[in-house]
Amino acid sequence: MQRLIRGAIVAAVSAASFVLPVLAAPAQQDNQAIITSPTDGQAVAGLAPIFGTATSNDFARYEIAYGSDPNPNDAWQPFATAEVILRDAQLGVWDTTNLPAGTYMIRLRVIRPDGNFAEDIVRGLIVGPAATATPQATPTDVPPPPTFETETQATIQPTIVIEQPPTSTPEPVVAGGSTDDSAAARRDGNSGLDLSRFSSACINGVWCSVGVFFLLGALGIGRWGMRRLLKQMQERENQ
């Protein structure tokens, strides 16, 4: 029985020797300096917001700075700092309005009270036209532009038409007749034309006469009707 008690005590002490160091160990440090936007090689302009995470279990502040890319002298210009922990939020705004065109990089540092820090750097940020833009190749198989011959304007000479006076054509002499016969025929033709005009004038006169006749008849009927009406009115008054 005593042996069993001693074995249990030894086992408990052995287990405690493994568990207690684990419980006594401090929690793992949560140091994060992450830039999520912009990303490497992105083009930015104007006021560019900086998004990311700045946390630490032993937190003092975070700082954002920019520099040229490449940056052989390790020269940085801070533009945003805060003493608050942020996760997946806007950390600051980078004003690129007055910066010369070129490539830059930005750096986020999460600084602890002892001066140590964690950092993240985004490289190749393009401000304005790309400094190392690849020139477009000029194709060599493009045909030359077509050439056009200069058109010669022809001088148009006006054609002058001279009218000749009409010439009288001699009338042919008909066999068995004379020129007097042809003249008589022309007179007959002219007389026939005059007769047609005369007949149309007669027809117009007839229609005018008929119209005048109907007009006079209408006036006579109207007068007779008026007299009849007046007579009836007088008879009614006498009665």
* Coil vs helix vs strand at 95: strand
Q: What residues contact 94, with CB distance under 8 A and at least 6 apart?
A: 44, 47, 48, 49, 50, 64, 66, 79, 80, 106
pLDDT, greater one: 165 or 88: 88
pLDDT, greater one: 191 or 59: 59
To the nearest whole number, what is the mean pLDDT of the chain?
A: 74
Average pLDDT over residues 130-141: 43
Strand duo 117-127 + 102-111: pairing: antiparallel
Q: What is the DSSP letter of 26?
A: P
- How far apart, in whole angstroms, are the C-alpha atoms of residue 171 and residue 179? 8
Task: Give pLDDT, residue 136.
Answer: 42
- How far apart, in whole angstroms, are the C-alpha atoms of residue 51 and residue 39? 10
pLDDT tens column, 161-193: 555 565 555 555 444 444 455 554 455 544 444
- How far apart, in whole angstroms, are the C-alpha atoms of residue 186 and residue 180? 10
pLDDT, greater one: 222 or 132: 222
pLDDT tens column, 203-221: 878 787 888 888 888 888 9
First to last CA, the chain: 171
pLDDT tens column, 4-40: 556 566 565 455 554 444 444 444 446 799 999 999 9
- How far apart, in whole angstroms, are the C-alpha atoms of residue 3 and residue 132? 83
Out of 116-120, 140-144, 151-155, 171-175, least confident range: 151-155
Percent of the chain at pLDDT exceeding 90 = 40
pLDDT for 42 beyond 50: yes
Q: Tell me whether the omega of the peptide bond preceding residue 170 falls within 30 degrees of 0, making it cis.
A: no
Q: How many CB atoms lie within 10 A of CB 130?
A: 14
Strand duo 117-127 + 43-44: pairing: parallel
pLDDT, greater one: 62 or 144: 62
pLDDT tens column, 223-235: 888 888 888 888 8
Percent of the chain at pLDDT exceeding 70 = 59
Sheet with 102-111: strands ordered across: 43-44, 117-127, 102-111, 61-68, 77-82
* Cα distances (angstroms) measured from residue 17 to each of 14, 98, 111: 5, 64, 37
pLDDT, greater one: 35 or 160: 35
Query: What is the band of 157 on the pLDDT scale with cuts at 50, 70, 90?
Result: low
CB 95 within 8 A of CB 79: yes
CB 106 within 8 A of CB 65: yes
